[in-house]
Amino acid sequence: MKAFINRSTVSGRVTVPASKSYTIRAIIVAALAKGTSKIINPLYADDTLAVIDVLNNLGVPVIKELDGITVHGGALKTIQADLNCRDSAATLRFMAATCAILPGTSNLAAGPSLAKRPIKPLLDILEEMGARTAFQEGRVTIKGGNLKGGVYEIKGDESSQFVSALLLISPLIGEDVIFQLTGPPRSLPYIKMTLGVMQQFGINIQASEGFTRFTITPQNYRPAQVCIEGDWSSASYLIALGALQGNISVEGLNLLSLQGDKAIVPLLEKMGAYISPGIDSINVKASTLHSLKADMSQCIDLLPTVSILAALASGKSQLKGIARARLKESNRVHAVKKGLKQLGIKVTENDDTIEIEGGKPRGAAIDSFNDHRIAMAFAVLGLKTGEVIIQNAECVSKTYPGFWKAMRQLGGNIRLENE
C-alpha cells in the first residue's frame, strides 16, 4: 500500500499508543509467574501479537479482554510445532532464552526481515549455560532445561535485547548467575526497563553502578497487575510533527519514563523547538530549527526521526553512534540516506556517523524498506514538504497500527492507496 502525503497544517491533541517494549516484557514476565496477572493498557500491534501467539502455543493462556490482558502463568511447556515470532526481534530473542529453561526442544521461526538480524551472540551464551542451540534459514532450535549458574561474559556493545533476554530467565535457573559486560552497555534504557518490569513481578537483581555487572540469585516471579505507559518511540513522530508544522499536544506520556526515546524532547529543544511539558503530555509548536550534534547510541530508534528534523533545520547536523541502526528492521542508515537524497538533501555517512545538511526537501517516492520507523519519519517530513509518497505504508502496524488515522485526525492531508 502507498500513502500519498500532501503539505498540511496540523494541530490538536493526540494520545500515544502504549509502549511496545513494556508490553512485550510484561507479557513474558507474567507468563513466567505462577498465577494470574493482569496487564492494563497493553499495545496491540504486530510485535506484541507475535509474543502473545508464541506464549499461547507454549501452554500459557494469554487472554485479550476489554480492560487489558489476563495471563495465567507458570505452566510453560515445549511443543513440536514452530513458534512464529513474525518479524519481532524482542519476541525471538526473549523467547529463545525462555525456551532454554524449558525441558525439551523448541523451534522458533523468524520472518524474512528478522531472519537477517543477529542472534548468534545470545545463542552462544545460552550454549555456555548448558542449552543446545542451532540457527539455520530463519529457524532457531533450542534444546533446554539444563541451564547452570556461573559467571558469563557478554559484549557490552551488542544488542541490549541479548542482556535483557538473559536477565529475564536468570532468576529461574536455580543457581547464582553473574553476567559481566565487557564495556558500557548500548541502549542502556532498555535494560533498565527490563529490570523495572522484573521488579514489579517480585524479582530483585543487583546491578553495578555502571550496569556492567549483574548478580542474580534464585527467585520466583510473583503475579502482578501492571499498567503499560505510553510509547515514547511512537510519540517522537508526533512531537517532531508539532515542531515542524503545527501546534500539537501529545498525551498519555510518563515524563519520568525510563524509555530512552524520551530523548526526543531534549534533542528538539537543542534544535530550538518550543516544547512545554504538561502533567502527562508534551505540547509542541512549530519552530525554526537549527542543526545539532548528537550521540544516538542510547536512543538509536530515534535516528530516522532526528534525521528528517535535521533535513529541515538550518546548517549541518552530525549524528554519531549510529552503527547499530544498520541492524534493525532495515539498514536504517542506508534507508535514511537514500530517502533524504531523493528529496534533494545532502547526506554523508561513515562507520558510526551521518551528516545531514539542512535544506528545502522536494517531493519524492520514498522506499520504506518495509520498516515502520522509516515510513513514519518520512510521513512527518511529507506533511511539511508535500508531494511525498511512502511505499509499503502498511508496515506501521508493527508498532503503531493507528498511525495514519492519528495523522489525519491532526489535519494531515493523506490518501492511502485503494481507498
Q: Which residues are catalytic?
A: 301
DSSP strand pairing (150-154 vs 206-207): unpaired
Q: What whole-number distance in Å separates Cα of residue 61 and Cα of residue 57?
A: 9
Letter string b/e over residues 258-283, b meaning 16 or more CB atoms within 10 A of that residue's CB: bbbbbbbbebbeebebebeeeeebbb
Letter string b/e over residues 186-204, b meaning 16 or more CB atoms within 10 A of that residue's CB: bbbbbbbbbbebbebbebe
Beta bridge partners, 140, equal 108, 135
DSSP strand pairing (364-367 vs 388-391): parallel
Q: What whole-number distance in Å separates Cα of residue 164 and Cα of residue 170?
A: 10
* 97 Cβ contact list (under 8 Å, min separation 6): 122, 126, 165, 166, 168, 169
Q: Which of 299, 347, 346 is nearest to 325 (CA)?
A: 299
Q: What whole-number distance in Å separates Cα of residue 279 and Cα of residue 251?
A: 9
* Joined grid coordinates for residue 18: 502504549
Torsion of the alpha carbons at 127, 129, 131 and 134, rounded to the nearest 10: -20
Secondary structure in 3-state letters for 164-180: HHHHHHHHHCCCCEEEE
* 33 Cβ contact list (under 8 Å, min separation 6): 71, 73, 74, 201, 202, 220, 221, 222, 223, 224
* Joined grid coordinates for residue 188: 542502556
281 close to 45: Cβ distance less than 8 angstroms: no
Instruction: Give CA 265 to chain center in angstroms.
Output: 18
Give the H/E segment covering residue 3. strand 3-6
Residue 4, Cβ neighbours under 10 Å: how many?
17
* Joined grid coordinates for residue 236: 517522537
